[in-house]
Amino acid sequence: MEKTFNLTRREDGIAILTMDVPGETMNTLKAEFGPEISEILSEIKGDNSIRGLVLISGKKDSFVAGADISMLDACQTAGDAKALSQQGHVVFNELEALNIPVVAAIHGACLGGGLELALACHLRVCSDDGKTMLGVPEVQLGLLPGGGGTQRLPRLVGITTALDMMLTGKQIRPKQALKMGLVNDVVPQTILLQTAVEMALAGKRTAKPVKKSLVNQLLEGTGFGRNIIFDQAIKQVAKKTQGNYPAPAKIIDCVRQGMAKGMQKGLEVEASHFAELVVSKESEALRSIFFATTEMKKETGAEGATPRKVKKAVILGGGLMGGGIASVTTTKAKIPARVKDINEKGLSNALSYAYKLLDKGVKRRHMTPAVRDNLMALMTTTTEYKGVKDADIVVEAVFEDLALKHQMVKDIERECGEHTIFASNTSSLPIGQIAQAASRPENVIGLHYFSPVEKMPLVEVIAHAKTSPETIATTVAFARKQGKTPIVVQDGAGFYVNRILALYMNEAAQLLLEGQSIEHLDKALVKFGFPVGPITLLDEVGIDVGAKIAPILEKELGERFKAPAAFDKLLSDDRKGRKNGKGFYQYAAGNKASSKKKAVDESVYAVLGIKPGMDKDLSAVAERCVVQMLNEAVRCLDDGIIASSRDGDIGAIFGIGFPPFLGGPFHYIDTLGADNLVNILERYQAQYGDRFEPCPRLKAMAAEKTRFF
């Protein structure tokens, strides 16, 4: 069997231990490496000629990307998971106990178990490369660092900084890592190994004390002060997670116990908590999302089709969506984008939007002004069809108006090449209807982004009956280069995400009209696990947008999509939401973006002609909205709108923030049981009418006791 670890000795007495997992593009830690590492460590201990050890990766662009997640799925019990953590502790303790200097030379991703390995070394040096990132992102999988990270990290960088890293999973850049004391030096990659060797030859250095703010010095220096830090952290975590995610509280407990009772006790607590989290349903759901997205990255979206290379994109429309799409095209995909709008104002908006986003990176020192300016140079603008002939893809982001979109299709077919893809960022109009104006319908496709484009990870790639496989594959590859997670959906009003969202929003509106208060409705769904409540979401998206989409969905999909008449009353009162500073919530004049603890605009109740009455139980409010979404998600699968329940889960989580710890609508239905869901829907159907009628597939699954996964 090929070895993962290779030990070479230099004449100056420094040994180089190179990690290179055979047949993999990145290094990940696996349980079976334990004996191999232990054998090498005892060889090093027994060789007096070795004066120091440097640990480096044999991979071109990564150090160690973390532990192999599939190991965790192989754990049958909490005991199996605990043994994994304890095995890691033994190996890392052995490494740390070597009586020669041990230096980690880090280039590329150094995450999770990879950073824990580096923390067990005595010193760390990393490259100043943009690919070098350090972090402990386990919390994003519902886990905690189980290889001693909860103990070594706070001792190295301080409790407050370590908690911040572990509770957010954020990744740290080289300069930041040096400043916080996570690494001892940052050098160009060309001299990384040489620097590590020199550090090993110089012998163990005592780490420089980490610069802490005066407040942190006072708090971290005493048991009383540390308790204040932990209590505050627990409060913040409870507020943020609404009690839906167990990992953050367990991370805090590991650090608390380790700092109070010593390293050994801390490691014992870490192994126990890690084991409980591995077998928790929350971590299982979050890991299923990780595997699903990893799997999706390998798919082209159209079997057997090869994507064409996109060297230039044209964006039609310089509004909020157009500006966002142009921005991710130039900054993420590094593809030149030409923005076309009918007036200069739209174009200057698109440019300033992109500039602001890039300038944030400069202010945070993530990029230099020169890099920002080079990326800005990839974006050009025009009010006429000039400089568009060589476009490989045109993304249309104009108003939801079929006649206007037909005009755009004709313009592009006249002005661009015969292979140019026409991708419409429509949120509700069927793509087949847009393609009716095309003489090359095989090039027409939907590419539905979510707002704000730079933040929302999902795009829906919508194929109509005549879209060619090559067009699908090229569009999917283009979206991936923009840093998006694309799901391929079939054509139909509302596609997938807006279709399941519409019924959820409609139900929230019905509850509002029945007398539930705005705060209570939003609180119920945030408690359930959504990032924002439905009423806040309606203000964000725009009440006018909701009003425009609703009739399209009702016309195409039937009576159950009929929106409450309340929309008309709101629009007559010029309430569009955040965009014009007038909606369900109050927006500070001249500062539409201030969303810190917004207050409800009480006058909206009079506009709707309602008086808030008794608030129902939070879980009952959430249930009524969510079951509508679940029922419609299954209908979308039945109608062939989505190809699989996996795509449905990813679409709902990344598109509308369906609670990740539930694994998505289809995973959640499996948790509830189809029979239970059918009973709930039928109860509501008897009470509120046929909009709650369970779809045929759910009834069949309830009868046959089957599951999606």
**What are the pLDDT digits (tens) for 302-323?**
888 999 999 999 999 998 899 9
Q: How is residue 235 written in tokens?
A: 């409060």
- Same structural domain, 112 and 39: yes
The confidence band for 210, taking pLDDT boundaries of 50, 70 and 90, is low
Indicate if 460 belongs to the active site: yes
**Count of CB atoms situated within 10 Å of the CB of 606:** 10
End-to-end alpha carbon distance in the chain:
35
Label residue 558 by pLDDT band (50, 70, 90): very high
Domain stops at, among 263, 279, 295: 279
- List, in order, residues 6 or more apart from 446 with CB less than 8 Å away: 423, 424, 425, 426, 431, 434, 460, 461, 462, 463, 464, 491, 495
Q: What are residue 465's phi and psi, to 5 degrees?
A: -55, -30
Residue 263, domain member (yes or no): yes
CATH classification at residue 408: 3.40.50.720
Asked if 347 and 452 sit in the same domain, the reply is yes
**CA 350 to CA 348: how far, in whole Å?**
5
Beta bridge partners of 106: 126
Region of 42 (left: φ > 0; alpha: ψ -120 to 50; beta: rest) is alpha
Same domain for 105 and 193, yes or no, is yes
Banded pLDDT at 209 (limits 50, 70, 90): low
Contact 668, 291 (CB under 8 A): no
699 is a domain residue: no
* Of 493, 528, 553, the domain-final residue: 493
pLDDT at 534 over 80: yes
Active-site residue, selected from the candidate residues 282, 460, 470, 632: 460
255 shares its domain with 326: no
Q: Please state, rounded to an integer, the average pLDDT across all residues of the chain.
A: 92
Written in H, E and C, the secondary structure of 10-47 is CCCCEEEEEECCCCCCCCCECCCHHHHHHHHHHHHHCC
pLDDT score at 594: 46
Residue 427 tokens read as 């949120």
Do 351 and 455 lie in one domain? The reply is yes
402 in a domain, yes or no? yes
Cα gap 429→571, rounded to integer Å? 22
Amino acid at position 131, single letter:
K
- Asked whether 461 and 476 are in contact (CB, 8 A), the reply is yes
Residue 37 lies in a domain: yes
For residue 528 the two structure tokens come to 């359930």
C-alpha distances (whole Å) from 88 to each of 120, 170, 334 are 11, 23, 40
R_g of the chain, CA atoms, integer Å: 28
Q: Rounded to an integer, what distance in angstroms lies between the CA atom of residue 638 and that of residue 589?
A: 47
Q: Which two tokens stand for residue 611?
A: 């008086």
Of 493, 518, 548, the residue at which a domain comes to its end is 493
Same domain, 12 and 151: yes
The reply to whether 123 and 210 lie within a common domain is: yes
- Pairwise CA distance, residues 375 & 335, whole Å: 9
- Examine the domain organization and report whether 234 and 365 are in the same domain: no
Q: Does residue 497 contact residue 460 with C-beta atoms inside 8 Å?
A: yes
Beta-strand runs (E) in 343-402 = 379-382, 393-396
Helices 618-638 and 497-513 sit at what angle, rounded to 10 degrees? Answer: 150
User: Is residue 265 included in any domain, yes or no?
Assistant: yes
The answer on pLDDT for 568 being more than 80 is: yes
Residues 133 and 175 in one domain: yes
Residues in the chain: 709
Higher pLDDT, 634 or 207: 634
Cis peptide upstream of residue 534 (ω within 30 degrees of 0): no
Query: What count of other Cβ atoms lies within 10 Å of the Cβ of residue 125?
Result: 27
CATH code (residue 204): 3.90.226.10
Q: Is position 364 within any domain?
A: yes
Answer yes or no: is 54 within a domain. Answer: yes
Q: Are residues 121 and 239 in the same domain?
A: yes
The torsion of the CA quartet 315, 316, 321, 323, rounded to 10 degrees, works out to 60
Per the listing, tokens 């509302």 go with: 494
Task: Give yes or no: residues 322 and 443 share one domain.
Answer: yes
The domain of 130 spans: 5-279
Q: What is the pLDDT of residue 636?
A: 97
Helix/strand/coil for 635 = helix
* Residue 186, φ and ψ in degrees, nearest 5: -130, 125
Provide mean pLDDT across the span 106-114. Answer: 97
Do 538 and 545 touch, CB atoms closer than 8 A? no
Phi/psi for 40 (5° steps) reads -65, -40
Sheet of 5-9, strands arranged across: 5-9, 14-19, 52-57, 102-106, 123-127, 185-187
Residue 545 within any structural domain of the chain:
no
Backbone angles phi, psi at 5, to 5 degrees: -110, 135
Residue 207 pLDDT greater than 70, yes or no: no
| Interval 130-159: pLDDT, tens | 999 999 999 999 999 999 999 999 999 999
Are residue 347 and residue 254 in the same domain, yes or no?
Answer: no
* Run of H or E residues at 7: strand 5-9
pTM score, two decimals? 0.89
Q: Above 90 in pLDDT, residue 451?
A: no
Q: Hey, which residues does 585 pair with through a beta bridge?
A: 600
Whose CA is closest to 355, among 336, 333, 330, 335?
A: 330
3-state SS of 536-553 is HHHHHHCHHHHHHHHHHH
pLDDT at 205 over 70: no
Question: For residue 593, what pLDDT is reported?
Answer: 46
Task: Please say if the pLDDT value at position 217 is more than 80.
Answer: no
Q: Is 345 exposed, middle or buried (0-12, 13-18, 19+ CB in 10 A)?
A: exposed
211 burial level (CB within 10 Å; 0-12, 13-18, 19+) = exposed
Residues 496 and 491: their CA atoms lie apart, in Å, by: 9
Domain count, the chain: 2
